[in-house]
Amino acid sequence: MGKEFPEGFLWGTAISSFQVEMGRGEPSDKTDWWAWVHDKGNIEEGIVSGDNPLEGPGFWELYGEDFKLLKEGLCNNSIRVSVDWGRFFPEPIDDIPVHVKLDDEGHVCDVEITEEILQQMDKRANQNAVKRYRKIFTEAKQQDITLMLTLFHWPIPLWLHDPIKCKTDMENATKRGWLDNKTVIEFTKFSAYIAYKYGDVVDLYCTINEPRIISEHGYLSTWSEFPPGKNDPDLYLLVMRNLAIAHGLCYEHVKKWDKTSFSKLGPCTVGLVPVLQVFAPHDPNDPRDVEASKLIDYAFNEWGLNAVFHGDYDMNLDYLIEPDEQKPYRVRGCDYLGINYYSRWKIKYVDKGMKPLANFKLMPCEGDCTDYGWEIYPDGLREVLNFAYKRYRRPLYITENGIADEKGDTRTRYLLAHMEALHKTIHLDKVPVLGYYHWTLMDNFEWSDGFKIHFGLYRVDKTSKKRSPTSTVAIYKKISENNALP
């Protein structure tokens, strides 16, 4: 087996708007995430770090230099970026009417969008953001960088989600984010708008980044560090359902409104980005741990993909799809899967007196762990890629894979071990993986943990914004340049 990767393989890094853009230029201060990380109560409770995204790496202005790092420093040919919904529409646009069809359970089934609506949206969009994103994407094109664009990498405009009200008084909250049809409808409008505006410069689209993390960390988490900080298995499933519906509608409308983009998978390529993790019982001899781990694997890894690909919505999590859980009309498509893979987790059954889905604990990592306490488990990459391809039969990209490593002494080992696993997956298992995006280009705002977590291939000086390479840069460059393992 040679050490090469397939011809035309995409090598890149992934970044997301909220995590890197601020630090230079206009802030994005009209989203739920902005409100969440600035909330005094959250800071006092230690749910968020208190760090300010305004001290971020400043990609909003420094994108040109960052693309240079990508091209020259890393020899990459692609980048995965996202758009910040709240920058485009900081104020409500729900008065721009669309015709919506609901299914018999009252969930969004179809949204009708016309060119006239998109033009109305354009008039109301924040033109600074519209122009700046065009500059960013055009710059990528000029530097011959294949552009993968994520439409939703987490922040929601505040007019659709008030996370503090939801946290403290959900019953009376009126802006409930992904719990509401309204968010699904508005996200569909937003997706159509982005495809309409930027189809000529986008190569690949990702609809939603990690639906499961949005639902789990926001709605099923005892530590509840994501907005809106709930711990309720029912809400977890409702959000998973709406995200699967939203993916379908987004897919359909991006396909409709992007008339020009092209990738090697064909015209206008649109996929979903799940995070897949390996879950294993803490004690393989304890049937309760075995059962809990099976349920978590099913609920976290499979459930959302079964919904998107088959229209199976197992709302009672009994592993069976009863007739009223079959929703084939919600299946709209998914051209590829973007897999985010980081780690393996051991699951311990803990009776919390809650529904089965909540009766578990993720055990702290033992042995080979990252700064974040995540286990380094490269074979898991091969496991999840095989699972995803064999079950859902779509081409794959690795859309995120990386390590929190402040000292920078483990990242290279992590990268190389995952590269080996990837190479075997492609060559021995014949799984069509078409690209790899390392998480991430430079140190950034790691959500609730702020700046204390370091995933970047480049360090960033908070004041001067100067980027300095970690030792992994040279190795990743070599792999990318040679399209082969060293």
> Which residues have a catalytic role annotated?
210, 400
> Binders of ligand BGC: how many residues, by CB under 6 A?
11
Query: In this chain, which stretch among 205-213, 233-241, 309-317, 320-328 interacts with ligand BGC, using CB under 6 A?
Result: 205-213
- One of 275, 337, 357, 365 touching ligand BGC (CB under 6 A): 275
By the rule CB under 6 A, 207 interacts with ligand BGC: no
Cα gap 454→446, rounded to integer Å: 8
Nearer to ligand BGC, 173 or 403 (CB): 403
By the rule CB under 6 A, 398 interacts with ligand BGC: no
CB of 19 to ligand BGC, least distance (A): 6
| Secondary structure in 3-state letters for the chain | CCCECCCCCEEEEECCHHHHCCCCCCCCCCEHHHHHHHCHHHHHHCCCCCCCHHHCCCHHHHHHHHHHHHHHHCCCCEEEEECCHHHHCCCCCCCCCCEEEECCCCCEEEEECCHHHHHHHHHHCCHHHHHHHHHHHHHHHHCCCEEEEEEECCCCECCCECHHHHHHHHHHCCCEHHHCHHHHHHHHHHHHHHHHHHCCCCCEEEEEECHHHHHHHHHECCCCCCCCCCECHHHHHHHHHHHHHHHHHHHHHHHHHCCCCEECCEECEEEEECECCEEEECCCCCHHHHHHHHHHHHHHHHHHHHHHHHCECCCCCCCCCCHHHECHHHCCCCCEEEEECCCEEEEEECCCCCCHHHCEEECCCCCCECCCCCECCCHHHHHHHHHHHHHHCCCEEEEECCCCCCCCCCHHHHHHHHHHHHHHHHHCCCCCEEEEEECCCECCCCHHHHHHCCCCCEEECCCCCCEEECCHHHHHHHHHHHCECC
Report the site for ligand BGC in 149-188 (rule: CB under 6 A). Answer: none
Query: In this chain, which stretch among 36-44, 188-196, 209-217, 344-352 interacts with ligand BGC, using CB under 6 A?
Result: 209-217
Nearer to ligand BGC, 35 or 275 (CB): 275
Hey, which residues does 263 pair with through a beta bridge?
Answer: 266
- One of 16, 28, 191, 410 touching ligand BGC (CB under 6 A): 16
CB of 18 to ligand BGC, least distance (A): 8
The pair phi, psi for residue 118, each rounded to 5°, is -65, -35
CB of 106 to ligand BGC, least distance (A): 31
Query: In this chain, which stretch among 127-135, 208-216, 218-226, 286-294 interacts with ligand BGC, using CB under 6 A?
Result: 208-216
Query: In this chain, which stretch among 159-167, 207-215, 305-313, 421-429 interacts with ligand BGC, using CB under 6 A?
Result: 207-215
Contact 399, 273 (CB under 8 A): yes
Report the site for ligand BGC in 400-429 (rule: CB under 6 A). Answer: 400
By the rule CB under 6 A, 236 interacts with ligand BGC: no
CB of 309 to ligand BGC, least distance (A): 21
Report the site for ligand BGC in 67-126 (rule: CB under 6 A). Answer: none
CB of 464 to ligand BGC, least distance (A): 23
Nearer to ligand BGC, 359 or 440 (CB): 440
Nearer to ligand BGC, 187 or 342 (CB): 342
CB of 291 to ligand BGC, least distance (A): 26
By the rule CB under 6 A, 210 interacts with ligand BGC: yes
Pairing of strands 108-112, 99-102: antiparallel
By the rule CB under 6 A, 221 interacts with ligand BGC: no
Terminal CA-to-CA distance of the chain, rounded, Å?
14
By the rule CB under 6 A, 397 interacts with ligand BGC: no
Instruction: Tokens for 484, please give them.
Output: 């082969």
By the rule CB under 6 A, 20 interacts with ligand BGC: no
- One of 28, 77, 209, 480 touching ligand BGC (CB under 6 A): 209
CB of 154 to ligand BGC, least distance (A): 7
Cα gap 267→260, rounded to integer Å: 7
CB of 93 to ligand BGC, least distance (A): 26
Report the site for ligand BGC in 431-450 (rule: CB under 6 A). Answer: 439, 446
Nearer to ligand BGC, 258 or 400 (CB): 400
By the rule CB under 6 A, 277 interacts with ligand BGC: no
Positions that interact with ligand BGC (CB under 6 A): 16, 19, 209-210, 213, 275, 340, 400, 439, 446, 455
